[in-house]
Amino acid sequence: MQTVVGDPAKTNLLSFEPAALTDWVAGIGQKPFRAKQLLKWLHQRTATDFSVMTDLAKDFRAELESLACIQTLPILKDHLSADGTRKWLLDAGQNNAIETVFIPEDDRGTLCVSSQAGCTVACRFCSTGHQGFARNLTTDEIIGQLHMANRLLDTPVTNVVMMGMGEPLLNFDAVVPALRLMLDDNAYGLSRRRVTVSTSGVVPMMDRLAQACPVALAVSLHAPTDALRDDLVPINKKYPLAELMAACRRYLQVAPRDFITFEYVMLDGVNDQPEQAWALIDLVRSYDVYCKFNLIPFNPFPQSGLKASPRSTIRQFATILSDAGIVTTIRKTRGDDIDAACGQLAGEIKDKTQISGRMAAQRQEQPVRFQSRGRP
């Protein structure tokens, strides 16, 4: 299937962070306040065409029509889970799909956003890592996921986590402008505390993020020793634990929250033993990193050769950390019935002519529904 994504001769306005949009608008001879109006239409009101922008001067609108477009990735599938989790598969072209997941909770709605099609880090427990790497997403493709979600959901997104496919800090130049749009009051207006970048530990880029756009930080730790982490998260060979911990400490000086969240996927017999919990406590104490732990139940997939830790083991591990005074949560698994649980992202769509058995069954039970908020 050939995907047509807009007119290549036109500029996709979703690709501009606020300052860049102002420059572009100035470049076509318009005043800065026009850029602010346009930014609001594009992101606050999630417009998809210029005709709705009725408070813009007619000649300006005509110029926009001829030069620019507003384009998000085409939706391949839209699944709603029994627990309200909603997953979109988006067509990134050339037989690549990326995934965006919305997780509603009582007091908030969190959007899990992808930053790359595939990932080069190749963690052993991650299905994205096993698919290899296709390409970086562009700023418009990243912010377009939030644009699309706010357009289609009944309740707007209140929190964003960069925890979909890909390693956000290995696509820094496209991710940072998207983060700036998330934070801008004339765009999505989210506070820095409600936007989280999750990284496997790209140390130099953690420092650059601290400078460029210090949002909340989650670090995928997964192991208390270099020997085990080298095996599970191969980027550890380049940036070992001592460097990672030092980078976390530096980040805390500018972070919007006074802790780093350590993610830790629980793998049966691999990293889930009591002595490994004690080693984690020693690790974070010796580097004096104020942190919280988020224990993630592993979503198994055949090629990984790994198994999920039993519930009781996860609870015991959490208790050891909590008893040492470290706030520890166990991630709820959400959207299991639609393969939206983390680590399941988009693998099944590599060959778009095939839909996995689980997903096909789900589709029959729950037909795809597109909801429109009726907003411009």
**Residues lying near ligand SF4 in the complex (CB under 6 A):** 119, 121-123, 126, 128-129, 166-167, 200, 220
Q: Is the Cβ of residue 71 or residue 116 nearer to ligand SF4 in the bound state?
A: 116
Q: Is the Cβ of residue 16 or residue 298 nearer to ligand SAH in the bound state?
A: 298
355: tokens are 């839909």
> Are residues 98 and 76 in contact, defined by beta-carbon separation less than 8 angstroms?
no
Shortest gap between Cβ of 360 and ligand SAH (angstroms)? 21
Shortest gap between Cβ of 175 and ligand SAH (angstroms)? 11
Binding site for ligand SAH (CB under 6 A): 125-127, 163, 167, 198-200, 220, 263, 265, 296, 298-299, 342-343
Q: What are phi and psi of 99, to 5 degrees?
A: -135, 145
Q: How far apart are CA 265 and CA 301, in angstroms?
A: 14
Q: Is the Cβ of residue 114 or residue 362 nearer to ligand SF4 in the bound state?
A: 114
Shortest gap between Cβ of 180 and ligand SF4 (angstroms)? 22
Q: What residue 209 binds from ligand SAH, ligand SF4, none (CB within 5 to 8 A, per partner kind)? A: none
Out of 17, 99, 141, 263, pick the active-site residue: 99
231, 229, 237, 238: which is closest to 264 by C-alpha?
229
Q: Which residue is closest to ligand SF4 by CB?
A: 129
Q: What residue 81 binds from ligand SF4, ligand SAH, none (CB within 5 to 8 A, per partner kind)? A: none
Q: What residue 355 binds from ligand SF4, ligand SAH, none (CB within 5 to 8 A, per partner kind)? A: none
Q: What residue 163 binds from ligand SF4, ligand SAH, none (CB within 5 to 8 A, per partner kind)? A: ligand SAH
Shortest gap between Cβ of 346 and ligand SF4 (angstroms)? 11
> Are residues 150 and 113 in contact, defined by beta-carbon separation less than 8 angstroms?
no
> Are residues 298 and 270 in contact, defined by beta-carbon separation less than 8 angstroms?
no
> Are residues 37 and 55 in contact, defined by beta-carbon separation less than 8 angstroms?
yes
- List, in order, residues 6 or more apart from 200 with CB less than 8 Å away: 121, 123, 167, 219, 220, 233, 235
**What DSSP letter does each residue of 252-306 carry, written as one string?**
HTT-SSSSEEEEEEEBTTTT-SHHHHHHHHHHHHHTT--EEEEEEE----GGG--
Instruction: Specify which residues 109 forms β-bridges with.
Output: 104
Is 112 catalytic? The answer is no
Shortest gap between Cβ of 79 and ligand SAH (angstroms)? 18
Q: What residue 122 binds from ligand SF4, ligand SAH, none (CB within 5 to 8 A, per partner kind)? A: ligand SF4
Is 17 catalytic? The answer is no
- List, in order, residues 6 or more apart from 237 with CB less than 8 Å away: 230
Backbone region of residue 325 per phi and psi (left: phi > 0; alpha: psi in -120 to 50; beta: other values): left
Q: Is the Cβ of residue 98 or residue 296 nearer to ligand SAH in the bound state?
A: 296
Shortest gap between Cβ of 216 and ligand SAH (angstroms)? 13
Out of 112, 291, 342, 348, pick the active-site residue: 342
| Residues assigned a catalytic role | 99, 342
